[in-house]
Amino acid sequence: MSQQKAIGVDLGATKIALALVHGDGHAELARQIPTPAGADNATAAIAQQINQILSQAGGAVAGVGIGSPGLVDSREGIVRRAVNLKWLEVHLARDVRAGLSTPLPVAVENDANIAAVGESYFGSAAGCGDVLFLGLGSGLGAGVVSGGHLITGAHMGAADLGHVSLDLNGRLCVCGTRGCAETLLSGPGLLRAAAELRQARQTPTTLPMDQTWTTTHVIAAARTGDALACAAIAMLTRDLGHLMGISAAVMDPEIIVIGGGLGVAAADLLIPPAQAEMERYLPRMLRGRIRVSVSTLASPAVAAACLILPRN
C-alpha cells in the first residue's frame, strides 16, 4: 500500500473542497470555501488553501490534483469553456503552481473524469480496470477508465455523454443541440419531466400544485408511490438505461457507477429499472455481465488526489 500523500482539490461553481489524501484513500485536513468570482481570485484562493494544508501535512506531499468543470486540457493544465465558472480559458495548473509556497506538481482534469478514476481507486469500482462513471446532478458528467487508464480522447472530449443527443427533436440544450442526454438525465431534466406531466394534468399526484417542486419533492413522492412522480422517474430511467446500454456496448465496462447529487439521492429508484432497460440495448454476449452500482467515494477531493497517487 502506497504511503504517498497528495492534496486533492474539487473546484465547483459555488464551492471549493480540499483535502490531504493518503495512499489508502484516507483523507484529513479537509476544508471547504466558497468559490470566489473571477479566475485570478479563485486560483489565488486555491493556492492559499493548499499552502495551509502543506503547513500541517507533517511530511512530504507528492503533488496536487485538481478536478474542474469545463473542457480540460490535462496535458497543459488548461481549463476551457467552464460555463458555470464563467471561464473562457484559464491556465489553472500554472497559476496555482505559481502561488504555492513549496514547488509541487499540479495536475488538472475534468471533474467527471477524475470521478471515474476515484471510483476505480477507492469507490464502488475499486480494483476494476474498466469503469464507466455517470454523474447525474445539475447536469450529466461522465468518465471512462479502460484497462486501468483514464480515456480522454484526441480532443480531450471523450465521454462527453451529456451532449450526446437522444432525441434530435427534443429539448434545446445550452450547447445548441436538441435532445442532449443532459436535458433528460439531470435534476433539471427530472423537474422538466414532472412539470410537463403537471401541465398535462392527466396524471394524479399528491404533490402540492401551488408550490415550486424540487428534486427532493419528486424523489420523496416517488417513494410513496405518487403516480406523477413515479412517471417522471420512469421517463428518466428509460433514457438512462438507453444511454448506459449504448455506452456499455462501446466500452464493455466491468461496472457502471452512478453518482452525482441526483444519482446518489435517488439510486434506489433509478438503478434497478435503468439496469433492466440497459440490458435491452446490449449485445447478447454482454447481457447480465455488467454491474451497476451507486457511487461510494467519500469526497470529490479524494478523487482529485488520484491524479497524483499511484494506483495500488
> What CATH number corresponds to the domain at position 198?
3.30.420.40
Same domain, 131 and 58: no
Tell me the per-residue pLDDT of 5-58, one tens digit each, with 9 for 90 and over: 999 999 998 999 999 999 999 999 999 999 999 999 999 999 999 999 999 998
Per-residue buried b or exposed e for 278-289, using 16+ beta carbons within 10 Å of the residue's own CB:
bbebbeeebeee
Same domain, 107 and 147: no
How far apart CA 298 and CA 27 sit, in angstroms, is 9
Q: Which helix (H) or strand (E) holds 29?
A: strand 27-34
Nearest Cα residue to 243 out of 289, 172, 292: 292
User: What is the number of domains present in the chain?
Assistant: 2
Nearest Cα residue to 131 out of 142, 285, 22: 142
**Model-level pTM?**
0.93
How far apart CA 132 and CA 145 sit, in angstroms, is 7
Domain presence at residue 10: yes
What does DSSP say about strands 15-22 and 5-11: parallel, antiparallel, or unpaired?
antiparallel
Same domain, 245 and 203: yes
Same domain, 108 and 242: no
Domain presence at residue 122: no
How far apart CA 182 and CA 162 sit, in angstroms, is 5
Contact 145, 117 (CB under 8 A): yes
* Count of Cβ atoms closer than 10 Å to residue 271 Cβ: 21
Contact 161, 173 (CB under 8 A): no
Question: What pLDDT is recorded for position 155?
Answer: 86
Domain presence at residue 155: yes
State which residues form the domain around 60. 5-117+299-305
| Partners of 190 in the β-ladder | none
Tell me the per-residue pLDDT of 264-294, one tens digit each, with 9 for 90 and over: 999 999 999 999 999 999 999 999 999 999 9
Contact 209, 163 (CB under 8 A): no
Question: What pLDDT is recorded for position 175?
Answer: 85
Amino acid at 56: Q
Domain presence at residue 204: yes
Question: What pLDDT is recorded for position 2?
Answer: 57
Contact 6, 305 (CB under 8 A): yes
- Rg, the chain, Cα only: 20
How far apart CA 222 and CA 234 sit, in angstroms, is 10
Question: What pLDDT is recorded for position 1?
Answer: 45
* Regions of the chain with pLDDT less than 50: 1
* Count of Cβ atoms closer than 10 Å to residue 246 Cβ: 16
Query: What is the CA angle 30-36-37, rounded to 5?
Result: 155
Same domain, 133 and 111: no
How far apart CA 68 and CA 246 sit, in angstroms, is 26
